[in-house]
Amino acid sequence: MEEIKRILVVSRMTLFSRKAIRYGISLSNRYGAKLFVAHVVSDSNLFDEWFPVSVKKSSEELMRKAKVEIERIINSEREGGSQIEEIMLEGDAFKEIMKVIKEKDIDLMILPTHEEGRIEHYLFSRVNDKFVKEMPCSIMLVKSEPEFV
């Protein structure tokens, strides 16, 4: 098996990402690998005209809670000595993540996966399919259920 030195976990800043981050932490500790956590933020302005304000506010609140929980997990691991670098990404998720993979010389990418709603399917599923077909490194898909805060 190849040596794993650099791991990238893709976080969509949702509660579904926590399990993937935990896998990344576990594997980076096991292999002594550097861990990168890339937070992918979708362009919320894209859907302003499609959704009522109440749906947008509810979505923003879930994102806020997920961000707080993900930060708690990462900070706890950093205090324990883990090397974790966070990266914020906006724009085309596929292109931005591919840039990170090349720039950071990633050996393994970890993606959260779960049964998606229609909006999430539209935003992310096509990107996951593209990753599987075009990825220059190994991929681990982590099946997640939402863990509510």
Whether 1 is covered by a domain: the verdict is no
The pTM score is 0.74
Whether 13 is covered by a domain: the verdict is yes
Structure tokens at 7: 């791991």
Among all chains, which residue has been given the structure tokens 């800043």?
Answer: 13
Encode pLDDT of 38-85 as tens digits. 987 755 444 455 555 555 556 566 667 767 777 888 888 888 777 788
Amino acid at 55: V
Is the dihedral angle over the CA atoms 138, 6, 88, 18 positive or is it negative?
positive
CA distances from 61 to 15, 43, 121 (A): 12, 16, 20
Helix (H) or strand (E) holding 85: strand 84-90
Range of the domain at 60: 6-143
Q: SS3 for 82?
A: coil
Encode pLDDT of 100-114 as tens digits. 999 999 999 998 876
Whether 70 is covered by a domain: the verdict is yes
Whether 25 is covered by a domain: the verdict is yes
Total domains present in the chain? 1
